[in-house]
Amino acid sequence: MENPQQTQIPKVKLGNQGLEVSRLGFGCASLAGTKSAPLSHEEACSLIAHAVKRGITFIDTSDLYGNDHESEIMVGKALKQFPREEIQLATKFGLYITEAGEYRVDGRPEYVRKCCEASLARLGVDCIDLYYQHRVDQSVPIEDTMEELKKLVNEGKIKYIGLSEPSPGTIRRAHAIHPISALQMQYSLWSRDIEQEIIPLCRELGIGLVAYSPLGVGFFAGKAVVETFPDDSESHVYHPRFAAENVHKNKVLYTRVANLATKHGCTPPQLALAWLLHQGNDIIPLPGTKSPCQNSPPLLIVLNFDSPSTTNSQFLDLPLRDVFAAFNFFIALTQAGFTRN
């Protein structure tokens, strides 16, 4: 088995139940064609291996992603290239699309078990490290769902339990049945509503946070601002920020971020991830991509925001409060290509 020298991206604890993950995760939603054309299995395996070899060992997928659960199948194939104990594998259940194209949620205990067994088979593993309920089923008491997940932990089929986009009340009720290790929530410079209640609650209960769409669904990578969406992408249909009537206003925000990134010798995506990484070691960004720069070396960026010229005062009209408070930090990134999710 090939054993390439890996980039030293640090490991951090996610929650207080014992789970350790790489400081940056890799989201696999786009690989199987979520809102865009899928990659081939060979391309997806190569891309996942590219991330893992550079130290990003926290791999996230879902049984929702792709036709016939293709993302899980791709991830399972890719991870056969590496020792199982080197990978932190996360997947999700409970959200699916009907034949009519409508999203549905299901948190019934029998459905939880059925989904877990199927994911284990597709991924080709005996145990899932982190198993999320993708969306909470309002018709099923969260206690019932959690009791089944607790059984799966006791049976050794999953190690840690997570929730995605739950309310504070649901978090407390679920956590009372079995400790929640992580929440997966949308969090970025653009989407910050969870700062008021969710993040303080996570820290109170010892729950880690995995931030999906850390680049604002590609906005901080310049999508719809400096480049157009690919022909096979539907992101601009689902997100109002990319609607024609909003792009002009949003371009002003992007330009200010881009100018600051240029000043510090990095790209806007790197600056956006830098800000997110600085929010705490208990917050793990989960970018994704379909097109890494395969031949580019790992990139280490050092940003020092100590200058009086980079204070909040010049950004008071932006939704970026506290972005440029004085701090020093190191960011281990792999490629500017991690820019899609």
Report the percentage of the chain scoring pLDDT > 90: 50
pLDDT given at position 226: 55
Lowest mean pLDDT among 58-62, 186-190, 325-329: 325-329
CB within 8 Å of 121: residues ≥ 6 apart: none
Task: Spot the catalytic one: 65, 111, 131, 212.
Answer: 65
Tell me what the mean pLDDT of segment 129-137 comes to: 97
DSSP assignment of 184-230 equals EEE-SSS--GGGTTHHHHHHHHT-EEEEESTTTTTGGGTBTTTBPPP
CB within 8 Å of 207: residues ≥ 6 apart: 15, 171, 175, 180, 181, 182, 183, 201
Q: For 43-102, how does the pLDDT look when each residue is reduced to its tens digit (9 = 90+)?
A: 999 999 988 988 899 999 999 998 889 999 999 999 999 999 999 999 999 998 888 888
Tell me what the mean pLDDT of segment 150-176 comes to: 98
Q: For the chain, give the mean pLDDT.
A: 79
Contact 108/137 with Cβ under 8 angstroms?
yes
The total of other beta-carbon atoms located within 10 Å of residue 73's CB is 19
Indicate if the alpha-carbon torsion angle 148, 152, 158, 160 is positive or negative: positive
CATH 2.102.10.10 describes domain 11-333: no
Name the residue type at position 57: T
Lowest mean pLDDT among 37-51, 204-218, 255-269, 271-285: 255-269
The total of other beta-carbon atoms located within 10 Å of residue 298's CB is 15
The total of other beta-carbon atoms located within 10 Å of residue 240's CB is 9
- Judge if pTM exceeds 0.75: yes
User: Is 309 a residue whose pLDDT tops 60?
Assistant: no
65 is catalytic: yes
As given in the structure block, the two tokens for residue 33 are 């064609």
Q: For 106-124, how does the pLDDT look when each residue is reduced to its tens digit (9 = 90+)?
A: 999 999 999 999 999 999 9
